[in-house]
Structure 1
């Protein structure tokens, strides 16, 4: 492990491991860079360098002067990403998730992926004055900080809770107020679809009463073109501290779908993330890495299966281009099968929902994919559109004629 500094500034960052891909971790409100340590130590993907830093006003930078705002945080994290100088995945928690999105959106040519852990919406939480004041007034009050942390996360490791309460109490009250106003007010970009168009993973503690399933479903997921959301039971707002190994497992799965050499992942992993990442790319070749040579595709929009990697790639590439948005909201793994629940829009906002079942072969590639769409009217329209887009490429008899 080594520590480097950005020029003559007070921005320092830690680098662990080596690889052609960097995973950059951005902490949240009242925290510091060390909140990621247990989770990082549980990652198993090789060929990935781990990078952490303190945001201004936090951790070892409590003496930093303001402003404490998204623009400043994104600029500093961006300077670290640029200094590392390689393709990267950026991981952010809570307020740090919004910072992570801004950093990735500014560097689309090098940003390989985005992971949002219990993300506050980039547009802000917009809490009323009497509620946000509770958070604004936490500076210098360790007892109140402890109470808030325990309320929002049910399974704190005692030692880490004590450490973070001490560290959070060191933050200057004016910095705490600015941080709270930052994540409550939000950023103007949050009112629009995200400018980051690559693969995105959302990890949320199932018992988080602050960043709820409804908040994520209404104000986070719809902003991304290809996003997968996974809940972690038995954890709240600080899910990466409460369940570090499980969060690491989801990030390892996400990294499995990011193309880079020198990577190894645990054997037997279903390449679900490679599948979801391919939807972000919207091209036939993007699905190739996930498929076995003799893959079979079944779907509600097909009258009969499509067989073979080349043909299935063509169908999936055309299908992914029809979707205007696509969010993978749930995932269950049972042996060689992965079940993905999703929601999407197409044809000017028409809503589609469904479940995809991926079955892997002995080498971990997808040997069979079954995609169940609904409602019926959308199925018919989607099938007709596929037939037109694949005319002369895939036999029209594979599609509904009505």
Structure 2
């Protein structure tokens, strides 16, 4: 699949992968900062952003999409950074194609399987009738009945756009995401580890990486991994604490 992307800056390549329900737009501000020393590629994964929609949606397919992108654009030894779902895509890519990247950065996700926890979000998105929707504010009011956190709602509603006929549409393929979500929550499996520099960054207030439980599994697959914590940040650590996130990543990029 030919993914939508944008590039910023010049230098050694850095590929950034967003999380579930996200888009490359979420990374523009940090991307501009990283582009001062690197050529940054911001990708929309399949069924997200401006990339094509498909009924098929899995980590293997997203890993294959990323390989196709790297080879098509002749990107040599990129550093790959992924958040949440994008972090699992990056992990899968690293263990399957270790010769295709130089370093790995994973933001607030472990290689383990996770229990279902997106029901309220999906119910909220489903409850918005695009045929009768009049405004983004109306969409927020409907979504608020299922999701109380305003920051999460604003993040989700970035996927809402006006079409040429002035009706609304989703850049998300909600049907495919919902149908394939169990696989997106699954663990990263590999018989061979990724033996290159790896940085895991977790939010201190997030439960996605629990060092006391997850460190052994992380280091089994990524023996050179180190885990850093941004205190006071949750799962969207790059949005909540962008400067702290930038400093940690930038040090690793230029080490």
Residue 147 (structure 2) aligns with: 147
Deviations 1:329-355 (A, max 9, x none): xxxxxxxxxxxxxxxxxxxxxxxxxxx
Aligned pairs for 1:4-19 (under 5 A) are 10-19=2-11
Consecutive unaligned residues of structure 2, counting only runs of 5 or more, are 128-139, 161-168
Alignment gaps of 5+ in structure 1: 1-8, 258-402
Relative to structure 1, is the Cα distance of residues 223 and 107 closer, same or farther in structure 2, using a 3 angstrom cutoff? closer
Distance 2:188 2:124 in 1: 22
The normalised TM-score by structure 2 is: 0.78
1:41 is aligned to 2:42: no
Does structure 2 conserve the Cα–Cα contact (< 8 Å) formed by 1:139 and 1:174?
no
Q: Please give the alpha-carbon distance, in whole angstroms, between the structure 2 residues aligned to 1:110 and 1:231.
A: 27
Equivalent residues of 2:34, 2:40 under 8 A apart: no
- Using the TM superposition, give the Cα deviation of residue 81 of structure 1 relative to its aligned residue in structure 2, in angstroms: 1.7
Q: Secondary structure at the match of 1:34?
A: helix
Counterpart of 1:30 in structure 2 is: 21
- The answer on whether the counterparts of 1:29 and 1:179 sit within 8 Å (CA) in structure 2 is no
1:109 Cα deviation after fit: 2.7
Please give the per-residue CA displacement for 1:331-384, whole angstroms capped at 9, x wherever unaligned: xxxxxxxxxxxxxxxxxxxxxxxxxxxxxxxxxxxxxxxxxxxxxxxxxxxxxx
Which of 237, 243, 247 is the equivalent residue of 2:235?
237
**CA distance in 2: counterparts of 1:163 and 1:87, whole angstroms:** 31
Q: How does 1:385-400 map to 2 (within 5 A)?
A: none
1:71 equivalent in structure 2: 60
Q: Distance in 1 between matches of 2:194 and 2:145?
A: 33
How many equivalent pairs are there?
231
Give the strand-richer structure, 1 or 2.
1
After TM superposition, the score normalised by the length of structure 1 is 0.51
Say which structure, 1 or 2, has more relative contact order (CA 8 Å, 6+ apart).
Answer: 2
The whole-number CA distance in structure 1 between the counterparts of 2:180 and 2:241 is 25
Aligned to 1:176: 177
Counterpart for residue 91 of structure 1: 81
SS at match of 1:109: helix
Which residue of the other structure, out of 150, 156, 160, is the alignment partner of 1:164? 156
Computing the radius of gyration over CA atoms, which structure comes out larger, 1 or 2?
Answer: 1
2 CA distance for matches of 1:210 and 1:146?
22
Contact 1:55 1:73 in 2 (8 A): yes
How large is the Cα RMSD of the aligned pairs? 2.9
Asked if structure 1 preserves the Cα contact closer than 8 Å seen for 2:203 and 2:237, the reply is: yes
Aligned pairs for 1:330-345 within 5 A: none
**CA deviation after TM superposition for structure 1 residue 174, in Å:** 1.7
Assess, with a 3 A threshold, how the Cα gap between structure 1 residues 76 and 246 changes in structure 2: closer, same or farther. Answer: same
Q: 1:95 to 1:166 in 2, by over 3 A?
A: same
